[in-house]
Amino acid sequence: MSTPQSQKTARKSVRRSLTGLFIVLGVTMLSGTIVSVALPQIVGSLQGTQSQYTWVVTATLLASTASTPVWGKLADLFDKKLLLQISIVLFILASLLCGLAQSTGQLIGFRAIQGLGMGASQVLVQTIIGALVSPKERGRLNGILGSVMAVATVGGPLIGGALTDISWLGWRWCFFIGIPFMLVALVVLARTLHLTDIRKTDTRIDYLGATLIAAGVSTLLLWVTFVGGSFAWLSWQSVAMVAGGLILLALAVWVESRVSQPVIPLHLITRRETAIAILASVAVGMAMFGGAVFMGQYFQLARGYSPTAAGLLTTPLMLGTMGASTIAGWMVSRSGRVKPYVLTGLVTLTIGFLALSTIDADTPLYLVSLGMLGVGVGVGMSMQNLVLVVQNSVPLSQLGAASGSITFFRSLGGTIGVSVLGAILASRVSDNITDGLASSGVSLPAGNTDASTLDLAGMPPFLRTIVENAYGSATGDLFLVATGIAVIGLIVAFFLPDARLRDTIDLPAATTDEVAPQLQDKDGNRPLPT
């Protein structure tokens, strides 16, 4: 029987472990956005090309997104603490190599390795938190978790811009800066993190399913990244990549339905709570990533601010997410209910996007700030609570796969959303510049309206005004599309069950049996071996 003193010591150890977990998540999230404003200097100093510029970002996104469900499944099969330690060491080594890279090709390869560490750390942190505390207690922690993610996502461009502007540091410190924090987290977790081992003895890894999922997702993400630039939307390349990606994913679904221990358990993601939470998370993922990326670009190219100033101007987005996630987390823990906060968050998210859809190059900054604040509040109230909905409905033995699945789909939705919205932005900017020049009596040869090649600082005043107006109105059009996606997420979330969060870490035995996978089909066929 535990004594009050031993319980106090255990709680203290859990708090220290959570601190280490928050550091890991914050640093990995930060690494995804810190290079966004520094990339021109990075690629330029390494003598890279425009194609390589794109791959510095794409390599990390591909590796992180495609590997997320695999790491989630491994967390159910092996020691979670050991897996997290491996992912931290992998991330530290990759970050060091990125900072020491001597060519763009080296940087791309090291960024892919860094993406593996990022994907692993993000899903493992959420899985381990689920193994430490009950869903009801987790509501409060998810509020803090959302704040950490918000600061890292929105603050990344600001920190990256500041480091790049400091002559005695430079862009290499965009990769070095997280290493000391990760080393501290590694020591803290090694000393304080203690998890109950619930692994199965007959563990199997679905290598075939994992390979098909990674290949299918990577093919589609590559298509989204390059379509509209390297080749047209209606082209043989598009047909080949889309068809190939869908065929690979269809094969993955077939394999996952047959094996005894799938990477993404279909019986979990097809359940009502999980399926709805995944669909709603796509809208939230797009808001989390797109808000920081496109608002930072808007302030630089439509309003003429420096990278550091642009990062500061996105502060309402960060503050809204931090405040809403913290307050909503506490309220969820007190009430044990999640759905009202998810719905309120998605309504606020929609209103925020709708407000941003009206902006142009001359919109007063306080109106832009109010729109960003609405988006931030919406993300803060819904993002982590959607993860909580899924974690509340599965047993502890399947927590890793469930957390990995929703994190995977949220990242996938965010990545695709940012890529598609970016393509829309580029097209609208090109059209707007052409129209603006025509109105001024200036015509350019076809193919010379790529705004990415224009230097705002060196332009004549009339041309700079045209480009700024082009980006301002195009950004408004962009967020109008985002509003439609947010509305879809809101409609889907209405169908979430209004379930109470449980007070126990694991589901009762009877309920666990209800969500266990069926290992044979209706005809009694045995599953495929893994």
Structural contact between residues 399 and 341, judged by C-beta atoms closer than 8 angstroms: no
Say what the pLDDT of residue 421 is: 76
Say what the pLDDT of residue 353 is: 92
Q: What percent of the chain has pLDDT over 90?
A: 14
pTM value? 0.73
Rg (CA), the chain: 23
Say what the pLDDT of residue 384 is: 75
Say what the pLDDT of residue 364 is: 93
What tokens were used for 59?
A: 């390599």
What is each CA distance from 48 to 62, 161, 204, 525, in whole angstroms?
A: 20, 19, 43, 54
Contacts of 296 (CB under 8 A, 6+ apart): 36, 37, 157, 307, 310, 311, 314
Which of 105-119, 139-153, 354-368 comes out lowest in average pLDDT? Answer: 139-153
Say what the pLDDT of residue 182 is: 93
Say what the pLDDT of residue 179 is: 93
Task: Please indicate whether residue 39 or residue 198 has the higher confidence score (pLDDT).
Answer: 39
Say what the pLDDT of residue 521 is: 44
pLDDT tens digits for 174-201? Answer: 899 999 999 999 999 988 888 766 555 5
Q: What percent of the chain has pLDDT over 70?
A: 78
12-194+261-514: which CATH topology? Growth Hormone; Chain: A; (1.20.1250)
Closest CA to 263 of 514, 530, 82, 25: 530
What is each CA distance from 392 to 151, 277, 412, in whole angstroms?
A: 26, 12, 22
Structural contact between residues 185 and 92, judged by C-beta atoms closer than 8 angstroms: no
Say what the pLDDT of residue 451 is: 44
What is each CA distance from 470 to 332, 422, 455, in whole angstroms?
A: 43, 14, 14
CA end-to-end span of the chain, whole Å? 42
Contacts of 270 (CB under 8 A, 6+ apart): none
Closest CA to 342 of 305, 310, 386: 386
Asked if residue 510 has pLDDT above 70, the reply is no
Say what the pLDDT of residue 356 is: 92
Q: How many other CB atoms are found less than 10 A from the CB of residue 59?
A: 20
Say what the pLDDT of residue 295 is: 80
Bridge partner residues of 337 (DSSP): 500
pLDDT tens digits for 65-112? Answer: 778 777 877 877 778 888 999 999 999 999 999 999 988 888 989 998
Chain centre to alpha carbon of residue 123 = 11
Contacts of 26 (CB under 8 A, 6+ apart): 148, 149, 151, 152, 181
Give the mean pLDDT of 386-401: 72
Give the mean pLDDT of 445-460: 51
Task: Kindly indicate the confidence band of residue 244, based on its pLDDT and cuts at 50, 70 and 90.
Answer: very high
Helix (H, G, I), strand (E, B) or coil at 91: helix
Say what the pLDDT of residue 150 is: 67
Q: How many other CB atoms are found less than 10 A from the CB of residue 166?
A: 9
Asked if residue 414 has pLDDT above 80, the reply is no
Q: What is the residue type of 236? A: W
Task: Please indicate whether residue 463 or residue 528 has the higher confidence score (pLDDT).
Answer: 463
What tokens were used for 147?
A: 């704040």
Q: Which residues of 13-32 are buried (b: 16+ CB within 10 A; e: fewer)?
A: ebeebbebbbbbbbbbbbbb
Q: How many other CB atoms are found less than 10 A from the CB of residue 194?
A: 11
Distance CA 141, CA 133 (A): 9
For the chain, what are the domain ranges? 12-194+261-514
Closest CA to 288 of 386, 404, 166: 386
